[in-house]
Amino acid sequence: MTDRYIGTELEVFSAAQNWKAYFSRALTPFIRDRVLEVGAGIGTNIPYLRTSSVREWTSVEPDASLASRIAERAANGHLPPGCRVLTGTIDALDAAARFDVILYIDVLEHIADDREELTRAAEHLATGGNLVVLGPAHQFLFSPFDSAIGHFRRYSRSMLATLSPPGCQLQSCFMLDSMGLFASLANRVLLNSSMPTERQLAFWDKVLVPMSRIAVDRLTGYKIGKSIVAVWQRH
């Protein structure tokens, strides 16, 4: 992950309220107490993921301009209380810092050495803590959009299983947004665009995401989707 984020999609996808609400409901059972979000961007995930079971929320963001926006939102009361932000990577943390949950929300795919990143993250997990990754699924969907926003890869279950950090065991792995998979496939094969339009994003978020959430993901057993979730627990 570079110090300055090269992607331009953060503002665009901040409007994807249905998607953020959906993946947040899937992740919140694993989130509690002291939380660290790595690569927090502009902080748009915090209001969706910070539930009453969270005592502290720490955001780490390497891009100073993005980190300052999180700090400004917290200072203005636009984020829940108890949120703080550090500028830098996970190496910015005190060596003794421990968290009950560490989150990578659409972040790990931006990091060249993802295995080493998760190994370093696991060193900051308390015993019984959860390491949670949400990322793009299926390398065959890799498109100009992925390249444009700095993705190194997309993930499969087998790829994520091989990344299990020392002292951690993979507890859960599932996919979300099966309807979005077909939209991404259409973009990869037909449109081949580097950025979705606002109209395309609105159709995906307001039509396809609810279809995935209400019916299709359940029918497919959460085995098909545009995004993949992996949860490791530290012994």
Residue 3 lies in a domain: no
Q: Which residue has the tokens 């659409």?
A: 106
Query: In tens digits, what is the pLDDT along the chain, a chain of 235 residues?
Result: 556 555 555 676 788 999 999 999 999 999 999 999 999 999 999 999 999 999 999 999 999 999 999 999 999 999 988 899 999 999 999 999 999 999 999 999 999 999 999 999 999 999 999 999 999 999 999 988 888 889 999 999 999 999 999 999 999 999 999 999 988 887 776 556 667 788 888 999 999 999 999 999 999 999 999 999 999 999 9
Provide the domain limits for residue 178: 10-234
Position 208 in a domain = yes
pTM: 0.93
Q: Total structural domains in the chain?
A: 1
Is residue 86, in this structure, part of any structural domain at all? yes
CATH number at residue 100: 3.40.50.150
Classify residue 1: in a domain, yes or no.
no
2, part of any domain: no
> What strand order describes the sheet that includes 54-61?
83-87, 54-61, 33-38, 99-105, 125-136, 227-234, 168-176
